[in-house]
A and B are shown apart, each in its own frame.
Chain A
Amino acid sequence: MAVVEVRDLRKRYGDIDAVAGVSFEIAAGEVYGLLGQNGAGKSTTVEILEGHRRATAGSVSVLGNDPAQSGREFRDRIGIVLQSSGVEQQLTIREALRFYGSCYRDPRPIDDVVEMVGLTEKIDARIGTLSGGQRRRIDLALGIIGRPELLFLDEPTTGFDPVARRESWKLVQRLCEGGTTVLLTTHYLDEAEHLADRVGVLAGGRLIAEGTPDELMAAAPDATISFELPAATSSDELRIPSTASIEAGVVRIETEFPTAVLAEITAAAVERGVELVGLSVRRPSLEDVFLQLGNDSGEAPG
């Protein structure tokens, strides 16, 4: 059964459709990544699913409930890591977890939560004295204190240093092993690539592509072969296809069939006894996919 079902969701602010007809599903235990730039409609979508905002049109089902109509039972089963929420700075981590944990039916033990997010040594420190990255980990801790079945992670690693990001990725992965369903929003592509089982790309309030990170990559722009054009060699001699671009002596070839093209060119180079300096074949990253899809938004949905 799908934990989250979104059908043709719309949210209008004044004359602007922040969300303009989005549909997707998240299965139990799945990590679903909503990827998009600021203003793409990620946060609006997620806040509707959390019950913080009402949809203008369309249907939304979260854990079998309509979040806009749901109360205490519903909020006991979800955990929310909000992008912009502060925590009482006067409290220690232990106190904050105690007070927030006290309103759930079955809160996790505080020591377990603190260990999961790697703040054991800081448990009795006032939150106001902690670094930004440590505070984001408190956000995570507060998000999971109630043993949520569904966890909303709204840009969980914004402002993290690389080490802290890796650590919180590990934490999210550990949570998923426990069967928690996760809806992640991010504008970090490597984060979606790393964490998400499936990714939906939002642009202009529409879902412009959806699939596993690998599938998105497969729908991606072609691979790029590049190398420096050897001196005193013409592009014909190396049998370089006419689609190639040559700029400042560097050849770039975008191709769907990098193996075949490479075989031609390297064979020609070997025949002439020249070395291709800086030869590389680059697979597109999700970033390239994302940028391309963002540029095409409003046209063909993927």
Chain B
Amino acid sequence: MNWPSTLKLVGEQTRYQVLTFMRSPVGLFFTIGLPLFMLVLFNALFGDGTVDTPAGSWSVQQFYTGGLAAFTAVSATYTNLVNMVPIRRDDGILKRWRSTPIPPSVYLTGWILGALSIALLGVVLQLTLGVVAYDLTIDVAKVPAMVVTFVIGVAAFAALGLAVAGLVPNADSAPAVANATILPLAFVSDIFIPLENPPRWLDLIGDIFPLKPFVNSFQNTLNPLVDAPGFTWDKMAVVIAWGIVGVAVARSSFSWEPSTSGSRRDRRRRSRTTSAAI
């Protein structure tokens, strides 16, 4: 018997990741639902405003749609991987997969492509809502830049998600780590609030980490003041650099074994073992 083709294996793995995600109401709400709700909310609150930049003013509606779409992509990749990987690791699910003949690279590709699929769904919903309800115009000439920016961003944040997931000590602390790393950055990254003339140090923090460069690059593909093709390579270079760091860290931090202070089941087993050893 021959091995199933890599393409078929990757397809099955991606399907598996998307299916398990779609059946997790909490993940679905925070990743897809909440940003859509924020788009509605922000537009209701600030919808008739403008964002003033040196290049000119553009509508808040377009600003928010682009920013929240990018934020959705980051939630679907980084936040979800930081949350889900340690849970499955501590439940012993990663170890179970490691016991099967699936090549580890295929398994990890499944995680990344699953996250990418969810990000794609979230971004498409976000943009659709923007076009239908908030006068968002998508410039066909800038769609290639939008797609490339999306793919690079999603890949980089998926790599960072796997890297941080490997560093998270156990599933209990995963949500805290995910939120503590992404939420403060989101406030200084032109997602919830357009930063007009922020203090220098806030600007700097935003520029150093990959979230704001990605968000700004994505927003630029929707910004009427930016001409086609709409690539923002200097900012995307920051995202790519972080993605490379993510890959390097993930390679050494990723573990298939439940963490030593892992799930309750594991703790119980260990304490039993310890008492028997004594």
Contacts and interface: CB of A to CB of B under 8 A. Distances in A.
Q: When A and B form their complex, which 3 residue pairs have the shortest distance between CB atoms, in order from nearest?
A: A39-B276, A86-B91, A85-B92
Interface of B: 1-4, 8-9, 12-13, 15-16, 19-20, 23-24, 88, 91-93, 95-103, 106, 257-258, 265-266, 269, 272-274, 276-277
Interface string A114-128: 000000000000100
B266 A84 contact: yes
A124 to B, nearest CB: 14
A52 interface: yes
Contact of B100 (A39, A86, A87, A104): A104
A104 B97 CA distance: 12
13 contacts: A39-B277, A52-B95, A72-B101, A75-B99, A82-B92, A82-B96, A85-B91, A86-B96, A88-B20, A99-B13, A103-B106, A105-B1, A146-B100
B96 A37 contact: no
B9 A52 contact: no
B272 to A, nearest CB: 5
Interface in A88-113: 88, 90-91, 95, 98-100, 102-106
A30 interface: no
Contacts of A83: 269
Given A86-B92, A105-B1, 13 more contacts: A39-B276, A71-B103, A75-B101, A82-B95, A82-B99, A84-B266, A86-B93, A86-B96, A87-B93, A88-B16, A95-B16, A99-B13, A142-B96
Contacts of B103: 71-72
Interface string A217-237: 000000000000000000000
A238 to B, nearest CB: 44
B8 A102 contact: yes
Contact of A102 (B2, B12, B273): B12
B19 A146 contact: no
Given A37-B276, A52-B98, A102 B93 contact: no
Nearest to B11: A102
A300 interface: no
A71 B265 CA distance: 28
| Chain A interface helix/strand/loop/mixed | loop
Nearest to B265: A84
Contacts of A85: 91-93, 95-96
A142 B13 CA distance: 16
A156 to B, nearest CB: 15
Counting chain A CB atoms within 10 Å of each CB, the highest count among B12, B97, B98, B101 belongs to: B101
Contacts of B23: 90-91, 126
B65 to A, nearest CB: 31
Contacts of B274: 39
A259 interface: no
Interface string A64-87: 000000011101101010111111
Contacts of A95: 16, 19
Contacts of A71: 103
A73 B3 CA distance: 10
Contacts of A193: none
A142 B96 CA distance: 9
B140 to A, nearest CB: 38
Contacts of B20: 88, 90-91
Contacts of B276: 37-40
B169 to A, nearest CB: 18
A191 interface: no
Interface string A128-140: 0000000000000
Nearest to B268: A84
